[in-house]
Structure 1
Amino acid sequence: MTLQEIFALSPIMLAFGVHAQLSKTTQNSTSNVKEEDVEVIRIVESRIQRLSSGATGLGLDSYETPQSVSIVEDDTIANYQLDDINSLFEHVTGINIDRTETDRTYFNSRGFDITSMHVDGSGVPFGDIFVGDMDTAIYERVEFIRGSNGLITGLGNPSGTVNYVRKRPENDFAARVDLTYGRWAKMRAVADVSTPLTESGTWAARAVVVHQDKESWLNLYGNNRNVVYGVVDGQISDTVTVTVGYSFHDNNAEGNTWGAVPQIYSDGTQADFPASTTTAMNWTYWDTLNRNAFAEVSWFINDDLNFTSKLNHINYEEQSELFYTYWNTGLDRQTGLGLLGYPGKFSAKDDTLIWDNTLQGNFNTWGREHTFIVGVSLADAQTSDLDSAAMSGFDVMPAFAGWTGNEVSRPEWAAPTEAGFADIKLNRYYTAMQLSVSDRLDLVLGGSFIDYDNEGEAWGASTSTTEDGTSPYLGFTWEAIDNVNFYASYSDIYQPQYYLNEDIEPLGSAYGRSYEAGVKSRFENNFLISLALFRTEQENLYEFLGYDDGDGVDDEDYSDDFTYALYQGITVASNGFEVEVSGPLNDEWSLIGGLTVLNMRGENGSEARTHIPRRTFKLLADYAPQWNEKLNAGVSVRWQSEVYSETTGFGRITQDSYGLVGGYASYTFNQQLSLHVNVDNILDETYLGSVRSEQTFAGSPTDYSVTLRWDF
C-alpha cells in the first residue's frame, strides 16, 4: 500500500503525532493532581514543556547533546527583523550563504552544502538549492544542528540539519500586530493571534497572517509574499493529544536573475559594477507556492512511554520566465561586448507525503534511568518539471553594463515539454539510547537503516537508483565537574545523490566519516560556552563540471548545450573548530554568536571548495538596561575571511574579507504599544553575494526599517 493510499483510507492519521513530550518535572507534577484535573494539566503543561527532538531525537537540551547546536528564538527573529531564512541564516554561527542568483540560494556548514531542512523534525533531505524567500513569522524557533546528523535524517550529511519549529497555541489569549516600513519601499504587516477554544484550555488555536511587498537595491527586482498559517491543538482523552494545521506561503518575484552579473573580464581583470547592476529583463518573474497540511497525535501511554505519529503533506509549485546571459570568448573590458542571451520558461511541481512514528520513553536497569527512541519514517516525493523553449531571444547582447531590462522582448514560448520527473521513496528505521553510566557519564548510541528508491529521468537520461545504507552513531557526555560537559560523537556519512556524471549516468552516493569532540560549560542564568573540534572525510561528493547536451559536439553558440548539468565525484577532508556562546550574560546583556575556523583539502592536498570562507564570526548582542526598562537595543556583527574561485580560462574571482554591522533599538510606550528601528550594514560595506560561480550580484547596501507593534 502506498503512502497516498494510506493517507486517503485512514482519516485518523490526520490526527497522528504531537510534538508534546512531557519532561520528568511535568510527569511528577501531574502524578499529584486530582483525576478530574489531569486532562487540563496535561495539555497546558505539554505546551509549556514542548521539547525539540534536537540532534539525537532524544529531546536533549544543547548542554546534554554531544554535537554543536544553535537555537534562534522568535523574540530574536522579531528584534533583528530576520523575516526570511536568508537573513536568519546570515547570523548563525558556522552557517554560510551563497547567493548566486536573486531567488536561488545555497547554504553550507563546515564546508558542505546543507541538504536537510526539517519542519517539526520531519523532512525529506534532498536538494541543495532553495528557491524563494521563505518567511520566518510562523516559527517559534529555528534549530541548527551542525555536523553529521544520521540519527534525525537517516543520511548522515556532514554539514548539519536545520529544524524549523512551528508556532503552537498558547495557554492564554495573546495577539500581536506588526506594521513595518523600510528602505526600497518595504511594507510588511504581520498578525499573530492565539486563543483558547474551551474554558479549561484543553483546546486552543493560533493563526499567523503575513503580507510583504518590497523592492530592492537591484534594478528591476521586487518581491511580494503572502503567508497564512493556522493550527489547532487539544485533547481527545486523558492520554491523547491532537494537533492539526495548515500553512500557505505564496512568494512572487519579478525582475529576478537566472545566473547573474559576470564578475570577470576576458583579459582576467575582475569586474567591479555598481551594486544595482542586474542582467534581468523587465518581463522576468519567478513565483513559488508552498502548501503544507499536517496532523499529529501523541499518546501518553504511561509515565515512562510516549508514542508520537506525525503526517505531513507538502505541495510545492513554481512558475518562472527567466533570462540567462553567457559568453563564448568572455566579456570584453574595453567594449562591454561578448554576452549572449538565453531565455527560458519553466514550471515544476513537487508532492511529498511524510509519515513519522516514534516511541520514546524511559527504562530502568542497573539501578539507573535511561531514555530511548525507536522510529520509522516513510516518505514519498513525486516531482515533475516542464520546460517551454523560447522562439526568440537568443541574441547577441549590447554592451554591458547599463542595461534597462528592455534589451530583449518577452519571447513567444513553444508548448511545454517534460524536462524531468522523479518518484523518490525514502524509508528509514532508526533507534537511539541515552544510557546513564554514572551520575556524570552518559552514552548516546544509535543508528539508522535507509531504503532509498528513485525512479526518474532528466531530458531522457535515467536518474533512477535503488540503494540502502546505514548510519551508525556513537557519542558520550562526561560532566567532569559541575556544569562542565566534555563530549564526543562519531557518525558514518551516507548521502544518496541525484546528480548525473559526465557519462550522463547517476553519480551515486557520497560516503565517509564524521567526528566531533568538545566541551560545554554552563553558567548561571543558563549562559553556555562551547568549544567544538570537528573532522569530516567524504568521498564521491558532487562537484559541478559544466553543461552538455549529450551529443558530444561543443556547439559554438552554446544554444543547445544546457540540457544536462554534469557533476564529478571528489574526495574532500574538512576539519576545524568552533567557539560559541549563547544565553543571558547578566541581567542586562544577552549574547548569541561564535567563531568558526575551517580547513578543507582535496584528494591531492590542495585547497578545496575555496568559495567557502575559512574563518567566520557571528554575534548578536542584546542590551536591556535596568536604568530604563522601556528601552532595548541590540548589535549584530558578522565577518568572513577572503574567498575565491577559479574560472574556466579567465582567472580568479576574489572577495576580500569583510564585516557587516547592524542593530536595532526599541522603545515601549506602554503594555500594548512599542516602536522598533532596525539598521543593517550601517557602514555601507560593498561585497559580493557569492563567488561560487562566475556570475553573482552585490550584497545589500545599508538597509533600514521602522516597525510599530501592538500587543493585545
Structure 2
Amino acid sequence: MSFHANNRRTNLSPNLLALAICVASSAAVAADDSSATTHGDAAAPSVLELGATEIGATQLSSTTEGSGSYTTGPMQTATKLPLTIRETPQAVTVITRQRMDDQAMTSVNDVVRATPGLFLSQSSGPGRQTYSSRGFDIDNIMYDGLPSSYQPYSMAVQPNLAMFDRVEIIRGATGLVTGAGNPSAAINMVRKRPTITPQVTLTGAAGSWDDYRGEIDASGALNDNGTLRGRVVGSYQGADSFRDKEENDHGLFYAIGEADLSESTTATLGFSRQEEQTNYFWGGLPLGTDGHHLDLPRSTYPGTDWENKKLKIDTVFGEVDHRFDNDWKLHVAGSSSTLNGEFSGTYLSRYAGPLETTAYQSHNTDKQTAVDAFASGPIEAFGRTHEVVVGASHRVYDATSKEYSPYTTAWPIGAPKPDFVRDSKTRNVTTQEGVYLTSRFSLADPLTLILGGRLDWYDYDDRSGDGDYKVTRNLTRYAGLIYKLDDHYSVYASYTDIFNPQNSKDLSGKVLEPIVGENYEVGIKGEYFDGALNASLAVFQIDQKNRATLADSQVGCPVMTCYQASGKVRSQGIDAELQGALTENWQVGAGYTYTRAHYIKDENPDNNNQRFDTDTPEHLFKVSTMYRLQGPLEKLRVGGNVYWQSRMYNDVPVGAGSYRVEQGSYAVTDLMAGYEVNKHLDLQVNANNIFDRVYYSSIGYNTTWGSTDNYGNPRSYMLTAKYKF
C-alpha cells in the first residue's frame, strides 16, 4: 500500500489488493457447508445466538456480528472475568457491529462521538483528536484486551472499524487491566474472528464531498472438518471535505487465522496494515486578536499546499487458548506493532504580532509490544462456587522522533515548503510489567463480591537525556459488590484506581510519587429479555491526587524547579444508559452523562474550586435507534441519532484581561433508512446533521499560538450498498 500527497485517488497497492481478493476467494471456496459445526470455544463467534426477531429467545453471545443487536453478552474488559453488563460494577457501553453499520461508522472517532460519556475534541486539529471521559483524557486504547498507548499529539492512528466486531468501553479508572493511565475509560477494540460457515461481503459507499469507500470481507473454513479457519478484510476510502482543498485517504488489510490444535487448544495468528494520509491535520481557524470567533466560512482551509501527514502501522498478533478438564482455561496473547509517520504541518499564529504560519516537520517511529497471560476458572469453598483469574503482563513502548529545522514561528502565509533539514533525534522507552489477581466470590445467592489487585513495575528510559524515572511495585486495587434485587435488577458499589507516573522532582531530588486516580461508583442496573436489553444508572466520584504543585520553598532545590505531590482534581457526576432491544424489531442505544470536574488544590491557587477543563461540556446526551418495519414493509428499516451537548467555553487572555469565547449548547440530528432488496443485497442511506446546524466542535483558548476553532461537519449524505454471498 502506498499513498501520495499529491494524488488522493491512490488505490491500495495492486499486489496487496490482489492478495486480499485471492485469500478471500480461497476462504470462501475452501469452506464447506457440511463443516459448519462448533469446534470448542474457538468456533463460538460463528454461532450468532440472537437474530433480529428472536428477542428473549436465548442469552446473547459476546460476538455481535450478525446478531442485529445493540448490546452483547459477557465481556472481559473490566476485570478479565467474563461478566455481563449487569454483573459488571462499573458503567459499561458496547458499540456493536450492527450499530456501527447503521450509523455508517468508519473510525474510532465515530465510536467516541456515539458513546455515552465520551467526548471527542479536535482543538489541536482534525487529525490530532483527543478523547476524554469523566473529565480526563483517555491515554490507552486496547486491542482484544491488550493495552496500547494512545498519543494524540504525535502520530496516533484512528483504528479502522472494518476489522472489528465490537468496541467495549468501561468508564472510570481501569488500572486493573491497563496498568498506568488516567482515570477516564478503557476503550477495547475487539477484532472480527473467522467463522466456520463461509461468508463473503462486498461493500461500496459514496457520499458528500467525493467520499468513496470499498470493502471486502471474506471468512470460512479452510479444511473439510473446519478445524482451520481464516478471514480477510480489505478496505480503502478516499474523501475530500467540506473544507476547501482538504483530502484524506485510508487503507486497511487485515488477515486472521484460527486453528484447533486439539479439542482443547486453539491458536490464533493475525496481521493488519493500516495507512492514512491527509493534507490537513494540525491547527484550525484562529481566534481574533480580541478573543472572539472570526466566524469564517466553514469551507475555509487554513492549511498549506505542501502540508502532509502519512502514517503506516503494521501489527502482528497471536493468541493461544487451552481448556482444561476442570473448567479452567489458560489464555496467552501477544501483539507487536510498528508505526511510521511523516509529519509536515503548519498552524496559524501571531508570535510576532501579525498572522503568520508556524511550520514544523518530524518523522516518528513508534514500536509497541504487549504480552499477557492469565489462567481462570472456578474454585469451590464454603459450599459455593467462585471464580479466579491470575495473570501477568509485559508492555514496551519505544518511541523515536527525528526532528527537522527550521521549526519556525514566522513563516509567511502561502510561502513554499521550508527546506527542512534533520537536526536532532530523541528516543524514549517505557516498560511496564505487572502481575494481577481477580476473584469473584459468591457470598450468597443474590450477593457477589469482586476483589482484584495488581502490582506494576514502570520504567521510563530517556535515551536522549537524563529524564529517567521508575515506579516500583505500585499497587492497584479493585473492589465491587453486586446485590441482585430480583431476576431483572441489581445494585452495586465499586472502588477502582489507576496510577500515572510523573517526572517532577521534590526538594530532595526524588521523583514525585505517581498521580493516583480513585473511582467511587454506586448504581443500579436492569437486564431484560435474557440480556437483550440493558439499563443502568450510576453516580460516580473520581479523585485524582498527588498532582505536582510548586514546592512551598525552593531553597536547596537541586534542579531548576521543585514540586510537591499535593494537587487534587475531583470529578463528580451521573451516568445513565439504555442499550439493546425495546422490542424484537426495535434497537436503541441511549445515554445521558453529567460530569463536573474541578480543582480541589492546584499549583495556581486561583484555580481552586474552578472547572478543570472548561472546553469540554458538562452535559452529554446521545441516542441511536433503528426500527425494522413489519408486514408489507418488512424489508425496510429506519432510524436515526441525536447528539446534544451543553455549552463549553474558554477564558482567553487578552492584554491584561480576558475574553470568554464559547460554543453554546447544540443538538445534531442524523437519519438513516435501509432496504433489504433480497437475501444478498442491502441498500442504506445516511443523512447526517439534517438541519445543517453550524457549530464549533472545538474552540480556541489563545490568540497567539495554535489554539484553534474547528467547525463540526455540515449536512452530508452517504449511500451504502452491501452484497453478501
| Alignment of 1:536 onto 2:542 | yes
Mapped contact 1:326–1:340 kept (Cα < 8 A)? yes
Provide the rounded CA distance (Å) in 1 between the counterparts of 2:511 and 2:547.
13
Q: Which of 667, 673, 679 in structure 1 is aligned with 2:687?
A: 679
Q: Deviations over 1:123-175 (max 9, x none)?
A: 13464547344311100000010011122113363211000000000120011
Mapped contact 1:463–1:499 kept (Cα < 8 A)? no
Judging changes above 3 Å, is the alpha-carbon distance between structure 1 residues 259 and 640 closer, same or farther for their aligned structure 2 residues? same
Provide the rounded CA distance (Å) in 2 between the counterparts of 1:175 and 1:370.
42
Q: 2:661 corresponds to which letter in structure 1? A: I
Q: How does 1:385-396 map to 2 (within 5 A)?
A: 385-390=401-406, 394-396=410-412
SS in 1 for 2:161: coil
Between 59-68 and 485-494, the greater mean CA deviation after superposition = 485-494
Per the alignment, residue 493 of structure 1 pairs with: 498
Judging changes above 3 Å, is the alpha-carbon distance between structure 1 residues 490 and 466 closer, same or farther for their aligned structure 2 residues? closer
| Alignment of 1:408 onto 2:415 | yes
Per the alignment, residue 611 of structure 2 pairs with: 607
Per the alignment, residue 469 of structure 1 pairs with: 474
Q: Which of 661, 674, 684 in structure 2 is aligned with 1:666?
A: 674
Q: How does 1:582-661 map to 2 (within 5 A)?
A: 582-603=579-600, 604-627=608-631, 628-649=633-654, 650-661=658-669
Judging changes above 3 Å, is the alpha-carbon distance between structure 1 residues 199 and 369 closer, same or farther for their aligned structure 2 residues? same
Mapped contact 1:39–1:237 kept (Cα < 8 A)? no
TM-fit CA distance, 1:461: 6.1
Per the alignment, residue 363 of structure 2 pairs with: 347
Per the alignment, residue 292 of structure 2 pairs with: 269
TM-score by length of 2: 0.83
Provide the rounded CA distance (Å) in 1 between the counterparts of 2:344 and 2:463.
23
Provide the rounded CA distance (Å) in 1 between the counterparts of 2:501 and 2:314.
26
Q: Which of 377, 380, 400 in structure 1 is aligned with 2:396?
A: 380
Judging changes above 3 Å, is the alpha-carbon distance between structure 1 residues 143 and 269 closer, same or farther for their aligned structure 2 residues? same
Q: Which of 137, 141, 149 in structure 1 is aligned with 2:162?
A: 137
Q: Which of 434, 453, 456 in structure 2 is aligned with 1:450?
A: 456
Q: Deviations over 1:597-619 (max 9, x none)?
A: 11122122122211111100000
| Alignment of 1:212 onto 2:237 | yes
Mapped contact 1:156–1:471 kept (Cα < 8 A)? no
Q: 1:388 corresponds to which letter in structure 2? A: Y
| Alignment of 1:199 onto 2:224 | yes
TM-fit CA distance, 1:457: 5.5
Q: Deviations over 1:530-561 (max 9, x none)?
A: 00100011124589xxxxxxxxxxxxxxxxxx
Mapped contact 1:455–1:464 kept (Cα < 8 A)? yes
Per the alignment, residue 358 of structure 1 pairs with: 374
Q: How does 1:90-109 map to 2 (within 5 A)?
A: 90-100=113-123, 101-109=125-133
Per the alignment, residue 77 of structure 2 pairs with: 54
Judging changes above 3 Å, is the alpha-carbon distance between structure 1 residues 43 and 97 closer, same or farther for their aligned structure 2 residues? closer
Provide the rounded CA distance (Å) in 2 between the counterparts of 1:692 and 1:500.
32
Mapped contact 2:198–2:220 kept (Cα < 8 A)? yes
Mapped contact 2:140–2:181 kept (Cα < 8 A)? no
Q: Deviations over 1:655-687 (max 9, x none)?
A: 110111002111111111111101111111111
Q: Deviations over 1:538-593 (max 9, x none)?
A: 124589xxxxxxxxxxxxxxxxxxxxxx9999521000101100110012311101
Q: 2:535 corresponds to which letter in structure 1? A: I
Per the alignment, residue 260 of structure 2 pairs with: 235
TM-score by length of 1: 0.85
Per the alignment, residue 187 of structure 1 pairs with: 212
TM-fit CA distance, 1:278: 2.9
SS in 2 for 1:90: helix
SS in 1 for 2:148: coil
TM-fit CA distance, 1:396: 4.8
Provide the rounded CA distance (Å) in 2 between the counterparts of 1:45 and 1:219.
48
Q: 2:618 corresponds to which letter in structure 1? A: R
Per the alignment, residue 137 of structure 2 pairs with: 113
Provide the rounded CA distance (Å) in 2 between the counterparts of 1:154 and 1:355.
13
Q: 2:90 corresponds to which letter in structure 1? A: Q
Provide the rounded CA distance (Å) in 1 between the counterparts of 2:349 and 2:471.
36
Per the alignment, residue 250 of structure 1 pairs with: 275
Mapped contact 1:178–1:707 kept (Cα < 8 A)? yes
Judging changes above 3 Å, is the alpha-carbon distance between structure 1 residues 167 and 489 closer, same or farther for their aligned structure 2 residues? same
Provide the rounded CA distance (Å) in 1 between the counterparts of 2:317 and 2:396.
15
Per the alignment, residue 11 of structure 1 pairs with: none
| Alignment of 1:300 onto 2:306 | no
Aligned residues: 634
Q: 1:242 corresponds to which letter in structure 2? A: A
SS in 2 for 1:218: coil
Mapped contact 1:591–1:622 kept (Cα < 8 A)? yes
TM-fit CA distance, 1:423: 0.9
Per the alignment, residue 426 of structure 1 pairs with: 432
| Alignment of 1:577 onto 2:574 | yes
Judging changes above 3 Å, is the alpha-carbon distance between structure 1 residues 156 and 213 closer, same or farther for their aligned structure 2 residues? closer
Per the alignment, residue 549 of structure 1 pairs with: none
SS in 2 for 1:81: coil
| Alignment of 1:708 onto 2:713 | no
* Structure 1 unaligned blocks of 5 or more: 1-36, 331-337, 398-406, 544-565
Provide the rounded CA distance (Å) in 2 between the counterparts of 1:131 and 1:363.
42
TM-fit CA distance, 1:507: 7.4
* Percent identity (aligned): 26
SS in 2 for 1:87: helix
Mapped contact 1:276–1:698 kept (Cα < 8 A)? no
